[in-house]
Amino acid sequence: GIFRLAAFLPLLHVPQILWGALGFSVVMLYLIWLTTIQKKLESDFFQKSIAKLDGLTSTDTQTRRDTWKNISESVKKYLEKTRGNYSLFKVREDFNAVRKLYNKGASEVRQALSELATLKEEDFIAMNEAGIHLPERKISQPAEDEGVWEI
Protein backbone atom coordinates (compact mmCIF):
# COMPACT_ATOMS: atom_id res chain seq x y z
CA GLY A 1 0.00 0.00 0.00
CA ILE A 2 0.79 3.64 0.00
CA PHE A 3 1.80 3.78 3.65
CA ARG A 4 4.60 1.29 3.59
CA LEU A 5 7.63 1.83 5.77
CA ALA A 6 9.76 2.21 2.67
CA ALA A 7 7.94 5.44 1.85
CA PHE A 8 9.29 6.95 5.09
CA LEU A 9 12.84 5.64 4.75
CA PRO A 10 14.22 8.92 3.39
CA LEU A 11 13.00 10.65 6.58
CA LEU A 12 14.62 8.03 8.76
CA HIS A 13 18.06 8.77 7.25
CA VAL A 14 17.95 12.48 8.12
CA PRO A 15 20.62 13.20 10.73
CA GLN A 16 19.40 13.97 14.23
CA ILE A 17 20.86 17.47 14.10
CA LEU A 18 18.43 18.33 11.31
CA TRP A 19 15.51 17.10 13.44
CA GLY A 20 16.72 19.36 16.24
CA ALA A 21 17.03 22.30 13.84
CA LEU A 22 13.54 21.63 12.51
CA GLY A 23 12.11 21.54 16.05
CA PHE A 24 13.94 24.74 16.97
CA SER A 25 12.62 26.43 13.81
CA VAL A 26 9.05 25.42 14.63
CA VAL A 27 9.37 26.79 18.18
CA MET A 28 10.86 30.06 16.87
CA LEU A 29 8.07 30.46 14.30
CA TYR A 30 5.51 29.87 17.04
CA LEU A 31 7.11 32.51 19.29
CA ILE A 32 7.25 35.00 16.40
CA TRP A 33 3.58 34.29 15.73
CA LEU A 34 2.66 34.88 19.39
CA THR A 35 4.62 38.11 19.74
CA THR A 36 3.76 39.78 16.44
CA ILE A 37 1.01 38.41 14.25
CA GLN A 38 -1.34 37.25 17.00
CA LYS A 39 -0.96 40.55 18.91
CA LYS A 40 -1.86 42.46 15.74
CA LEU A 41 -4.88 40.23 15.08
CA GLU A 42 -6.06 40.59 18.70
CA SER A 43 -5.66 44.37 18.54
CA ASP A 44 -7.68 44.55 15.31
CA PHE A 45 -10.39 42.32 16.80
CA PHE A 46 -10.51 44.47 19.94
CA GLN A 47 -10.87 47.69 17.92
CA LYS A 48 -13.68 46.15 15.85
CA SER A 49 -15.41 44.94 19.03
CA ILE A 50 -15.32 48.44 20.54
CA ALA A 51 -16.57 49.96 17.28
CA LYS A 52 -19.47 47.48 17.07
CA LEU A 53 -20.24 47.33 20.79
CA ASP A 54 -24.00 47.08 20.25
CA GLY A 55 -23.49 43.87 18.28
CA LEU A 56 -22.06 42.01 21.29
CA THR A 57 -25.48 40.97 22.53
CA SER A 58 -28.90 40.51 21.01
CA THR A 59 -31.44 43.19 21.85
CA ASP A 60 -34.57 41.52 20.52
CA THR A 61 -36.81 42.35 23.49
CA GLN A 62 -37.54 45.67 25.14
CA THR A 63 -36.13 44.45 28.45
CA ARG A 64 -32.83 43.53 26.82
CA ARG A 65 -32.69 46.87 24.98
CA ASP A 66 -33.29 48.77 28.23
CA THR A 67 -30.73 46.70 30.12
CA TRP A 68 -28.13 47.11 27.37
CA LYS A 69 -28.77 50.85 27.27
CA ASN A 70 -28.05 51.03 31.01
CA ILE A 71 -24.85 48.98 31.00
CA SER A 72 -23.30 49.57 27.56
CA GLU A 73 -21.20 52.52 28.72
CA SER A 74 -19.86 50.48 31.66
CA VAL A 75 -19.03 47.61 29.31
CA LYS A 76 -17.17 49.98 26.98
CA LYS A 77 -15.17 51.49 29.86
CA TYR A 78 -14.32 48.02 31.19
CA LEU A 79 -13.16 46.78 27.80
CA GLU A 80 -11.05 49.89 27.24
CA LYS A 81 -9.54 49.59 30.72
CA THR A 82 -8.60 45.93 30.36
CA ARG A 83 -7.78 46.16 26.63
CA GLY A 84 -9.46 42.78 26.27
CA ASN A 85 -7.11 41.07 28.74
CA TYR A 86 -8.99 39.43 31.58
CA SER A 87 -8.91 36.02 33.16
CA LEU A 88 -11.60 33.42 32.69
CA PHE A 89 -11.72 33.04 36.49
CA LYS A 90 -12.59 36.74 36.90
CA VAL A 91 -15.26 36.54 34.19
CA ARG A 92 -16.86 33.51 35.86
CA GLU A 93 -16.69 35.23 39.25
CA ASP A 94 -18.41 38.35 37.87
CA PHE A 95 -21.00 36.25 36.04
CA ASN A 96 -21.88 34.34 39.22
CA ALA A 97 -22.19 37.61 41.18
CA VAL A 98 -24.55 39.03 38.55
CA ARG A 99 -26.57 35.80 38.47
CA LYS A 100 -26.90 35.82 42.27
CA LEU A 101 -28.14 39.44 42.22
CA TYR A 102 -30.55 38.67 39.39
CA ASN A 103 -32.02 35.66 41.21
CA LYS A 104 -32.31 37.60 44.47
CA GLY A 105 -34.00 40.52 42.70
CA ALA A 106 -36.35 38.23 40.80
CA SER A 107 -37.41 36.45 44.00
CA GLU A 108 -37.98 39.80 45.75
CA VAL A 109 -40.15 40.97 42.84
CA ARG A 110 -42.15 37.73 42.92
CA GLN A 111 -42.61 38.08 46.68
CA ALA A 112 -43.77 41.70 46.34
CA LEU A 113 -46.20 40.76 43.57
CA SER A 114 -47.65 37.93 45.65
CA GLU A 115 -48.08 40.30 48.60
CA LEU A 116 -49.77 42.82 46.32
CA ALA A 117 -52.13 40.13 45.05
CA THR A 118 -53.22 39.29 48.60
CA LEU A 119 -54.18 42.88 49.46
CA LYS A 120 -57.88 43.57 49.89
CA GLU A 121 -59.77 46.66 48.82
CA GLU A 122 -59.82 48.00 52.38
CA ASP A 123 -56.02 47.74 52.62
CA PHE A 124 -55.55 50.56 50.14
CA ILE A 125 -55.44 54.20 51.24
CA ALA A 126 -58.38 56.19 49.92
CA MET A 127 -57.50 59.34 47.99
CA ASN A 128 -59.97 62.05 47.15
CA GLU A 129 -59.81 65.70 46.13
CA ALA A 130 -59.55 66.80 49.75
CA GLY A 131 -56.36 64.76 50.17
CA ILE A 132 -55.54 61.41 51.67
CA HIS A 133 -58.14 59.88 53.92
CA LEU A 134 -56.71 57.43 56.42
CA PRO A 135 -59.27 55.15 58.03
CA GLU A 136 -59.62 55.24 61.80
CA ARG A 137 -57.71 52.64 63.74
CA LYS A 138 -59.18 50.79 66.68
CA ILE A 139 -57.38 51.46 69.95
CA SER A 140 -57.40 47.78 70.89
CA GLN A 141 -55.26 46.92 67.87
CA PRO A 142 -51.76 45.65 68.87
CA ALA A 143 -48.66 47.65 67.93
CA GLU A 144 -47.16 44.88 65.77
CA ASP A 145 -50.09 45.23 63.39
CA GLU A 146 -48.93 48.73 62.51
CA GLY A 147 -49.95 49.42 58.94
CA VAL A 148 -53.07 47.22 59.08
CA TRP A 149 -56.02 49.55 59.17
CA GLU A 150 -59.68 48.81 59.70
CA ILE A 151 -62.59 50.95 58.63
Q: Is the pLDDT assigned to residue 56 strictly greater than 60?
A: yes
pLDDT of residue 11: 63
- Mean pLDDT (whole number) for 25-53: 91
- Mean pLDDT (whole number) for 138-146: 53
Q: Is the pLDDT assigned to residue 27 strictly greater than 90?
A: yes
Q: What angle do CA 51, 56, 60 make, to 5 degrees?
A: 120
pLDDT of residue 9: 60
pLDDT in tens, 124-133: 666 666 666 5
Which residues lie closer than 8 Å to 141 by C-beta, 6 or more apart? 148, 150
Listed by start position, the domains of the chain span 1-51, 57-86, 87-137
* Residue 14 pLDDT grade (very low, low, confident, very high; cuts 50, 70, 90): low
* Residue 36 pLDDT grade (very low, low, confident, very high; cuts 50, 70, 90): very high
> Which of 17-31, 54-68, 72-86, 125-139 is predicted with the least confidence, judged by mean pLDDT?
125-139
By CB atoms closer than 10 A (0-12, 13-18, 19+), residue 68 is middle
- Mean pLDDT (whole number) for 44-61: 86
pTM surpassing 0.95? no
pLDDT of residue 93: 92
Task: Please provide the average confidence, as pLDDT, over all residues in the chain.
Answer: 79
CA 89 – CA 25 distance, rounded (Å): 34
